[in-house]
Amino acid sequence: MMQKRLIAGLVLATVILLALSGYLVLRWAQSPVASGLPKPPSKIVTIPDGSTFQQVAGMLKSEQLIRSRWAFLLLGRSHDSDRKVRPGEYELDGGMSPQDILSKLLAGRVVLHPVTIPEGYNLAQIAEVLAGQQVTDAKEFSKLVRDRTFIATLGIEADSLEGYLFPETYSFPRQAKARDVIKAMVDGLHRVWSADLQEQAARMKLSLHQVLTLASVIEKETGSKEERELIAAVFHNRLRKKIPLQSDPTVIYGLPAFDGNIHKRDLSVMSPYNTYRVQGLPPGPIASPGAHSLRAALFPAQASYLYFVSRNDGTHQFSSTLAEHNLAVEKYQKQPFRKRARGSLVTHGA
C-alpha cells in the first residue's frame, strides 16, 4: 500500500513538473525576443500576397522576431489566423510579444508611404509616379481609370478619370490595389469640392465635369497662384463672347505625340482638344487641377482681359484688346527672339 502511494506521488509530481516545465517553456516562447533591451531596432518584414500562416511564422523566426515557430503557430491556431494575415510591409521589432505581432498582422497595420501627386499631372504621369514608388501596378491603374463601368461605381459619368484624381500627398502601402488608390484620390477631390464651390457652380450653371475641365486648363497655363484668377477671367470672358479659348496646353493634350515644342502646324490639327479650332471648353479635363485652380475657375477676377502672353519669367502680360496684345507679343516674345538670333549669329561669326 505504501509502495502504491509512493508511485502515485511520484507520477503526480512528474505530471506537475512536466506541466510546469511546459508552461514555463510556452511562456518563454511567447515572450519578446529582446525583452531586456530598452529600444530594440525595428525591421520591415514583407508578407507576400498568398502567404500561408506557416510561411509567415517561418519568416518571423528567420528574422529573429519570435523565439519559436511552433509556439507562434499554436498562438495562431487559437485565433483561427490561417489565411487571415494581410499581405504588405510591417514594421516589427524584437520588443514586441508574439501576441502583439500577431495582432498587427491580423489588423493589417502595414507601413504607409507618403506619395505626392503634383498639381497639373495627367493620368499617364500619375501612373508613372505610383509605379515608381511601388504603390500599385501601372497597367491595372491605367486600365481602371478608363473603365467606364468602374468609373460609374464612383458616381462619376465620364469616359476617364482625367482631372478627377485630386493632386496632394497621400499615404499608401506598397503594392496596394489600384482601385483602392483611385478611390482614395477621388475621395480627395470630394473633400475639396466644398459646399461653397458647389453653390457657385450651380449659380454659374456649370457641372463638376465642366469646372474640372476649365480648372485643368487654368492649372496648365500658369504656375503662379496669383495669376490663376486672371487666367480664369480671360477664359470666362472668351466663353461669354464665344471666342475660342486658344489654349496651347489643350492642343498639346490632344496631340498623339509631343516633342516639347508646339508648332504652327499643331494649331490646325483636327482634335476636340484643339481650342484654336473648337469653340468652348474641350470635352474633358487635361490634367488634375489643384484647389487654387478649382476655386479660380469658379471665382475669376473681375477683369475685362481677353488675352495673355508669357513674359518668359513665369508670369504673363494681360490685355483687353488685340492691339494691346500684339504690342505685348512684340515686346515679350518677338524682340527677345530676335535678340537671341542676333547673338547666335555673332557667336558663330566669331
Same-domain pairing of 106 and 156: no
Q: Which three cell numbers stand for residue 3?
A: 509502495
Residues 230 and 285 in one domain: yes
**pLDDT tens digit string along 113-148?**
999 999 999 999 999 999 999 999 999 999 999 999
CA–CA separation, 256 and 58 (whole Å): 51
Residue scoring higher pLDDT (324 or 340): 324
Residue 185 has pLDDT above 90, yes or no: yes
Average pLDDT of the chain to the nearest whole number: 87
Query: Tell me, what CATH number does 342's domain have?
Result: 3.30.160
Cβ atoms 90, 146 nearer than 8 A: no
Q: What is the pLDDT of residue 177?
A: 93
DSSP β-ladder status, 307-310 and 316-319: antiparallel
Helix (H/G/I), strand (E/B), else coil: 111: coil
Domain boundary among 280, 300, 320: 300
92, 111, 130: which is the final residue of a domain?
A: 111
Q: Are residues 72 and 122 in the same domain?
A: no
Residue 229, in any domain of the structure: yes
> What helix, strand, coil percent values describe the chain, rounded to 5?
55, 10, 40
Residue 88 shares a structural domain with residue 121: no
In this predicted structure, what is the pLDDT of residue 21? 45
125 shares its domain with 100: no
Let me know if residue 266 belongs to a domain: yes
Instruction: State the total domains in the chain.
Output: 4
Q: Are 215 and 293 in contact (CB under 8 A)?
A: yes
Residue 261 confidence (pLDDT): 82
pLDDT of 284 reads 97
Contact yes or no for 137/117 (Cβ under 8 A): no
From 168, 192, 216, give the residue that closes a domain: 192
Span 225-245, average pLDDT: 96
Q: How many whole angstroms from its chain centre is CA 126?
A: 7
Cell reading at 83: 489565411
* pLDDT average, residue stretch 39-64: 89
Grid cell digits, residue 1: 500500500
164 and 81: one domain? no
- Answer yes or no: do 145 and 228 share one domain: no
- My answer on whether 181 and 204 are in the same domain is no
Question: Considering the domain boundaries, does residue 11 fall inside one?
Answer: no
* Burial (0-12, 13-18, 19+ Cβ within 10 Å), 192: middle
Q: Give residues with Cβ within 8 angstroms of 201, minimum separation 6.
A: 207, 208, 211, 298
Domain that holds residue 349: 306-350
Same domain, 293 and 214: yes
Output the domain CATH number for residue 42.
3.30.1490.480
User: What are phi and psi for residue 44, nearest 5 degrees?
Assistant: -100, 120
pLDDT band at residue 6, thresholds of 50, 70 and 90? low
The C-alpha cell that represents 135 in the structure block? 504603390
pLDDT value at position 83? Answer: 63
Structural domain includes residue 13: no
CB-based contact 144:102 (threshold 8 Å): no
Which cell numbers in the block locate residue 176?
496596394
Residue 1 belongs to some domain of the structure: no
Residue 20, pLDDT > 80, answer no
Please spell the DSSP secondary structure of 241-290, one letter per residue: HT-----HHHHHHH-S---SS--GGGGG---TT-TTTS-SS-SS-SS---
**Single pTM value for the model:** 0.83
The answer to whether the CB of 202 falls within 8 A of the CB of 156 is: no
- Residue 76 to residue 261: CA distance in whole angstroms: 61
Residues 131 and 141 in one domain: yes
pLDDT tens by residue, 284-336: 999 999 999 999 999 999 999 999 999 988 899 999 999 999 999 999 988 87
